[in-house]
Amino acid sequence: MAKMFFSTSEVADLFNVNRVTIYRWVKEGMVKGYKVGKHLKIPLAEVERLKREFGFGDVSLETLQGGEAGAGEAGKKAPRDPSFKKLVMAIDDDENILTFIQNAFDGLGLNRHCNLKTYANGLEAVLQIGEERPDLILLDIVMPNLNGLELAEKIRKMHRDIKIIILTGYPEYLTEDERGKFLDYMTKPVDLRKLYETIVKALDIPVERANGVQARS
DSSP of 5-51: EEEHHHHHHHHT--HHHHHHHHHTTSS--EEETTEEEEEHHHHHHHH
Residue range 47-88, pLDDT digits in tens: 887 777 655 444 455 545 554 444 344 334 444 444 446 899
Pick the CATH number of 5-75 from 1.10.730, 2.40.128, 1.10.1660, 1.10.150: 1.10.1660
The rounded percent of the chain whose pLDDT value lies above 70 is 78
Q: How far apart are CA 42 and CA 155, in angstroms?
A: 22
The arithmetic mean of pLDDT across residues 37-48, rounded, is 85
* Burial group, residue 142, by CB count within 10 angstroms (0-12, 13-18, 19+): middle
Right CATH number for 86-203 from 3.10.129.10, 3.40.50.620, 3.40.50.2300, 3.30.420.270? 3.40.50.2300
Domains 5-75 and 86-203 share a fold: no
Give which of 136, 134, 116, 125 is closest to 199, Cα–Cα: 136
Residue type, 28: E
For the whole prediction, is pTM greater than 0.75?
no
- The whole-number pLDDT of residue 83 equals 45
Q: Where are the domains of the chain?
A: 5-75, 86-203
